[in-house]
Amino acid sequence: MKATKRLVRLGAAVCAMALALAGLAGCSPSEPYEPPALEPKVASPAVIEDGVLHVGVNTENAPLAGQPTSSMRIVGIDVDVAAALADKLGLKLDVVDVGADFETALNDGTVDIVMGVDKAEAGSFWTSDTYLPTAVALFAMEGTTDVPPADTDATIAAQVSSKSAWAVSSEYEGATLDATEDLHTAFEKLSKGEVAYVAADAIIGTYAAHSAGIDAHIVALMQAPSGYAVGCLDGNTELKQAVGDAVASLMSEGIVNVIQTKWLGAPLELASIPLTPSAAASAEAAGETAAEDGSGGEAAAEGEAAEGGEAAAEGEAAAEGGEEAAPEEAPAEGTAEEAPAEGAAEAEPVAA
């Protein structure tokens, strides 16, 4: 009797396994995986081509975008963010190198959006909230935390003819500027103690130090922080709304932080980093000017309202009665800082 019960249970188990295997037959390795179909959130004419998001980047601005010498693929932080953005919009991604002339690429209809737009230097097109922080920063080796005073005589390295080199010359007249051919050389000198600081764009400098395995960090910012944003034509209301919502979603979900960690070693946070003396003074002056403009604007509005009220009252009475802030500018061209070209090949972009 017991043997019969064991046989019944064994038969039931075999039948269950057979059914399970039959159910798995449709998932055999011989059948290729097909990802779920995308559901586009925007379509033509909001985008150039239905189902595709054409994105413009500047491949001369690594690590935001670049092309490793061993590949024709465009990779970088902006490419990864664009891939995540396209996924949010339910579109396939097409990355196009448009150089630094973002405005022409948008106006000519070459691309739908552009990445890596410095919010502080944007053109006449619309820009989203920033997804990456940026500023000219001073880097030092781990253990150094002092912000150099205005009268410092320290040696500061910066890439020759760059915006950062100009910032050093402008603020620290008593310092020695070591103009290097590239940031790799500048950080190498910092690691050897040949210079006290390196001035560079916060993103590009962090990437250069991280790629070289140099334990440098930002001790001060030489300007109030700005940020990199997405740009599109101002008249494209539908795409502006969709991109703005998608960028906000990528930020709140921590996706951009994951991308930053991949390329920079950790997410970059500039809000708590102190400013150099000149940058602090400029920020304070800008704040005072903004406060004055605000109060002046309110007073002007009140004055206009009062005048308008008086005019209206006079009009009504007539109807009833039957009567009646300049400093020297940084070079505009040839100032782009370059991270080591070979570093661009060290990380692959996130799949779209």
pLDDT, tens digit (0-9, with 9 covering 90-100), for 221-259: 999 999 999 999 999 999 999 999 999 999 999 999 999
| Helix-, strand-, coil-residue percentages of the chain, each rounded to 5 | 45, 20, 40
* Helical spans, DSSP H, in the chain: 2-24, 77-88, 102-107, 163-171, 183-191, 202-212, 237-252, 255-264, 277-321
For residue 97, the surrounding DSSP H or E stretch is strand 92-97
Q: Which band of pLDDT confidence, cut at 50, 70 and 90, is reported for residue 293?
A: low
- Side chain identity at 212, as an amino acid letter? A
User: What pLDDT is recorded for position 122?
Assistant: 83
Torsion sign over Cα 233, 234, 235, 241: positive
Nearest 5°: the CA angle 207, 226, 101 is 80
For residue 167, the surrounding DSSP H or E stretch is helix 163-171
Tokens standing for 92?
């396939």
- Give the tens place of pLDDT for each residue, 2-58: 444 444 454 454 445 444 444 444 444 556 656 667 799 999 999 999 999 999 999
Query: Distance (Å, rounded) from C-alpha 63 to C-alpha 229?
Result: 15
**In the chain, what are the domains?**
52-133+226-269 (3.40.190.10), 136-222 (3.40.190.10)
Query: Distance (Å, rounded) from C-alpha 286 to C-alpha 192?
Result: 38
